[in-house]
Amino acid sequence: MSIIFFNSKDLKAPRRLAIVSALLALLPLAPAVTVGLGLLSCVPLAAEAKNSQKNTTDPANKNTKLGKQLFEKGDYDLAIDALIQATYFARNGYAPEAFYYLGKSYMAKGEYLKAYDALKKHLSQNVSGDGWGNVAMVETLAALKRYPEAAPYVAFSLTAATYESPLYRAAHVAAGKLDDAQGNYSSACDHYRNSLGDEPWTFYDGWIGFCESLMKMKKWTEAYKYLDRMLTTIKTVKGLDYERVHLDIGICLLAKGNHQGAIDHWHQCLEYNHDNKEAHLQLAMLLESENHFASAIKEYRSFVRLSDDPKNHAPDKEMRSKQVETRIALLEEKLNAEVAPTRAQMTPYMLMQEKKAEQDRIRQQQQEQQRQMEEQMKTLPKDAGF
């Protein structure tokens, strides 16, 4: 009798199965052959097959889930890596959810051309008709300044939405951003107002967009009223950005001539975030208009320092910083100038002319301050935080 022994653990499952099958086929032809399968190879083979099925996961779904989680945590680079893997593993490239979050991740990084490509694929594959991809596409095209191309997506997103649903609110906010980017502030104001639904309001993104549209139309009293209501409502306003609201209220009060009220609100803004560069800039311009040059220089320097910080990157950072540095130089020159010697007694006519010149200088300063404020309004944040 011939006895053959081997340890099945030394062989992979397919190899073991092939050997077992071959030996069993020999048994009728060679009855003298006895097969000894170490550790009962057939039992672990079956168990391994069962475990293999149980532990198998679809890599496309797994990476989509991981990418979504990373996106929600704000880790956009890793989210993009996982989502690209999901689209790679997906059968026939069909991965609408992965493409959606890939587009959103690119949007969060400001890479709008890549976001557009990903969202285009999402929309071509999506069959649910939920409209969120259309909302993201509107925001992406607005950022790319491809305004006519964005208009149909506004209609698509609103068609899929029911009144006061999250999609309804988001679609109107996206439409408001699109109008805002084109300078259509009245239309933007209407969209933001529609996103708020019935009172009492609790939707911050639409509320702040509504108020800032009023500000851009120089409707300071109305804007102030709704901004103040946001701070005093007894309802919970989810995501309320106190820092931004106090900054805007200060701008409204300055426009109405209430300098102290504006200063108070900008200081409150800085209590929430001492690194709010726009609050420092507003304080600097106001203090300069009141001839508090040393204090103005301090605030201007804070603005330049924060503008130069990489985390505060903005396209207009370098230009605005240079403008402010020029103002600092001019103010320092005024502070360092020697005090003019006491002049001889002046005639009434000379006194009148000097008073007139002083009034002209103050008026010019006020006009310059108003011009700077209007320029500043153009740089107000257009992202409602959505």
So what's the pLDDT on residue 160?
Answer: 82
Indicate the pLDDT class of residue 369, thresholds 50, 70 and 90.
Answer: confident
pLDDT category, 40, cuts 50, 70, 90?
very low
Measured CA distances, 215 to 3, 89, 96, 182, 185 (Å): 94, 49, 39, 16, 9
127-161 tens-digit pLDDT: 877 689 999 999 999 999 999 999 999 999 998 89
In a domain, residue 115? The reply is: no
Structural domain includes residue 219: no
**pTM exceeds 0.85, yes or no:** no
Query: Is 358 within the bounds of a domain?
Result: no
Averaged pLDDT for residues 188-202: 96
User: Length of the chain, please?
Assistant: 386
**Number of separate domains in the chain:** 1
Print the domain residue range for 9. Answer: 2-55
pLDDT tens readout for residues 48-101: 434 333 433 489 999 999 999 999 999 999 999 999 999 999 999 999 999 999
Three-state SS for 159-211 is HCCCCCCHHHHHHHHHHHHHHHHCCCHHHHHHHHHHHHCCCCCCEHHHHHHHH
User: Cα separation of 205 and 196, whole Å?
Assistant: 9
Question: SS3 letters for the chain?
Answer: CEEEEEEHHHCCHHHHHHHHHHHHHHCCCCCCEEEEEECCCHHHHHHHHHHHHHHCCCHHHHHHHHHHHHHHHCCHHHHHHHHHHHHHHCHHHCCHHHHHHHHHHHHHCCCHHHHHHHHHHHHHHCCCCCCHHHHHHHHHHHHCCCHHHHHHHHHHHHHCCCCCCHHHHHHHHHHHHHHHHCCCHHHHHHHHHHHHCCCCCCEHHHHHHHHHHHHHCCCHHHHHHHHHHHHHCCCCCECCCHHHHHHHHHHHHHHCCCHHHHHHHHHHHHHHCCCCHHHHHHHHHHHHHCCCHHHHHHHHHHHHHHHCCHHHCCCCHHHHHHHHHHHHHHHHHHHHCCCCCCCCCCCHHHHHHHHHHHHHHHHHHHHHHHHHHHHHHHCCCCCCCC
In this prediction, residues 230-250 reach a mean pLDDT of 97
Residue 346 pLDDT class (50, 70, 90 cuts): low
- 60 assigned to some structural domain: no
Mean pLDDT: which of 92-96, 363-367, 374-378 is highest? 92-96
Mean pLDDT computed over 363-383: 70
Instruction: Count other Cβ atoms within 10 Å, centred on residue 386.
Output: 16
Q: What is the mean pLDDT of residues 21-47?
A: 43
Q: Cα–Cα distance between 157 and 137 in angstroms, integer?
A: 10
Whether 260 is covered by a domain: the verdict is no
pLDDT-wise least confident of 17-31, 134-148, 321-335: 17-31
44 in a structural domain: yes
Tens digit of each residue's pLDDT (9 = 90 or more) over 155-187: 999 988 999 999 999 999 999 999 999 999 999
Does 307 map to a domain?
no
